[in-house]
Structure formats: C-alpha cells, structure tokens
Amino acid sequence: MATTTTTTTADGGQLARTLTDVELLRELEPVAEAGLNQHLATTKDWSPHDYVPWSDGANYAAAGGREWDVDDSGISDLARVAMITNLLTEDNLPSYHRAIAESFTVDDAWGAWVNRWTVEENRHGTALRDYLVVTRAVDPVELERARMLQVTAGFSPGQQGQGTVGPESMLDTLVYVTFQELATRVSHRNTGRACDEPIADQLLKRVSADENLHMIFYRGVGAAALDLSPDRAIRAICRILSSFQMPGFSIPNFRRNAVKIAVGGIYDLRQHLDEVIMPVLRYWRIFERDDFTGEGLRLRDELAVFIAYTEVEADRFDESKARYLERDARKAQRLSARSSSQPV
C-alpha cells in the first residue's frame, strides 16, 4: 500500500499529498471487512441471563420487599467499586457508538462493524446490571443515579468541558479504541477475580473475552494503517498514549475510585504499561519498522522516551503501593490483637 497519493501538475510534475480520512477509510475498508468476518467466525454468542443467579434475588421495597443494605453485598468494597466503575463505563455506550460511527462512518464493512460492536457491548451492560441488582451487591438506587449522571455527561473528549485530548482523525480513534479495549479486558478480568464469587468471575471472564476480540479487530486495522501511512499512524499513537484516559473518566468520584482500583491490583500503571501498551506496540513492530521518515522517526523517539518515563513512574507506584499495603496489614494486625485481648 502507498502512504501517499500523487497529483500531476500542469507542467507534468508529481506532487505527493497525504491521504485524507475518507481515503484512508476507503483503503482500509477491505481490511475492516476481513476483520469483521474473522470476528464473526471466532466470537461465541451468549445470553446475559445465563450469568445471573436469579434464585438469589428478592423483591425490593416498591414490590413488597425491603430496600438495599450494605450488609446484603456479598463482595468486597474493592470489588464493588470496580464493578460499579466497569458498569458505568459500559453504560455510556450511546456516546461511544456516536464517536466511532462519526470516525469510521456507517458505510459498508465499517458500518457493519460499528453495529456489531455496539450490540455486543450493550450485552455487557445488561449482564452486569442484572447481576449486581439481583445479588444486591450494590445499592441499586445509587447505581441508577450514577448512570443518569454518567450518560447525561456523555463521552466527548476535548468537548463539553471534558479536558482530555479529543480525536483529530480516524487514526486517533482507531489507536484509542485499540488500547482501550485491551485495557478494559484487563480491568474486567481482574475485577472478576476480586469478586471472589464464581458466577461473577465467569461473567466477567466472558465479557473480557469479548473485549479481547474487539481489540483484535482494531489492532489488525491499526497494523494495516501503519503500513498505509506510517508517519500519520505513529503521530496518532504518540498523541493518544501521552494523554490516555479510560473512557469512564467522567464517572463521579472516578479519580478516587481509580486509586482504590489501582491499589487493589485491578488496573494500575504497571498493568497499563506491561499488559496494554507494550503488547500492542510489539504487535505493530513500532521499534523494528524501517518505513518511518523524518517526522515519524522523531515521534518514535519521543514514544521511546515516554515509555521509559512510564516505566519509572510504574516502579514508583509499585513501591508506594507496597508501603501502603504493609501499613494496612500492620493496622489490621493491631486491630485484631486489640479485639482478641478484650474480655468476653
């Protein structure tokens, strides 16, 4: 594939020009079609109701039962925070659908993919909400209030007061969703383990498998985009990675809960680097490619610096996390000793 097209001038000369987004989409459409066909052949259909322990359910007050109480929850505080964060992230699907439809269009294979991706993602939110409400793992009233706030805020990076970097091209969107889908897979899988409950673990294992297949689609198109326009693609990679945020950044109390999730080992900077960033960059052979030119080479050098910096920051976080967990363990031991010394 050529990285540029040429235009003949009046004197018979040739001028190279960068492909537009429309031209990129047209060139990448066969890759998207092949990726969609591979996805449909690989994915396994499943039903949300199969991952909900309905017999554990009981009516809430409006239906003659009782309201939720924190003692009803059978999962830890960490698992509860992570489950709510994951679900509220999934809830913003209308905004995500709009964003990728605007970037990729709804034509031909692109439109077929956008719609297939959307219907699969919608299943995740349905299953997670049913599980949480039926098992009384979380406060359903607070959950609904948070959903209203989250979906009302929407997902519009770089717009509507959301100060993150917004996409400037379809390549920005493509790069973002590649890393984001893999990050979401890691988060869901570790949340399932944190729940320490077999049905929740199976549900989140199923959801994370979907997210992985979504990542494979985007990663494959991203590889083709790098072959087609390497300098533009590396610009998008640098731009997105240097400002990356998970799509749930607009959730109320997201920053505070993200710290809990990181300390709890569900998703932290070390995992972001080792399990998300580096596997994708290795697949794309970013540091082995020989097709970058001046600007692309400079950006690749900047990316290497960014990775080295992130490595240092991940080490610092690991050290801080270890100290925090040691203090927390000592505190728990003191409380346990104090409690056992009390007369019965």
* pLDDT tens string 1-17: 334 544 444 555 444 45
3-state secondary structure of 15: strand
Q: Count how many residues are written for the chain.
A: 344
* pLDDT tens string 220-243: 999 999 999 999 999 999 999 998
Q: Which two tokens stand for residue 183?
A: 């990050």
Give pairs for 106-113: CB < 8 Å, separation 24+: 108/29, 108/33, 109/29, 109/30, 109/32, 109/33, 109/36, 110/25, 110/29, 110/32, 112/36, 113/32, 113/35, 113/36, 113/39, 113/217
3-state secondary structure of 18: strand
Is this prediction's pTM over 0.85?
A: yes
Other CB atoms within 10 A of residue 69 CB = 9
* pLDDT tens string 281-307: 999 999 999 999 999 999 999 999 999
* pLDDT tens string 237-279: 999 999 888 888 878 888 889 999 999 999 999 999 999 999 9
Q: Which two tokens stand for residue 206?
A: 């199923």
| Side-chain half-sphere CA neighbours of 260 within 13 A | 17
CB 85 within 8 A of CB 143: no
CB 269 within 8 A of CB 310: yes
3-state secondary structure of 6: strand
User: What are the helix and strand counts (H, E) for the chain?
Assistant: 12, 2
* pLDDT tens string 313-325: 999 999 988 887 8
Asked if residue 133 has pLDDT above 60, the reply is: yes
| Residue 6 confidence (pLDDT) | 44
How far apart CA 194 and CA 124 sit, in angstroms, is: 18
Helix (H) or strand (E) holding 5: strand 4-8
| Residue 210 confidence (pLDDT) | 98
User: What average pLDDT score do residues 63-82 get?
Assistant: 95
pLDDT confidence bin for 86, thresholds 50/70/90: very high
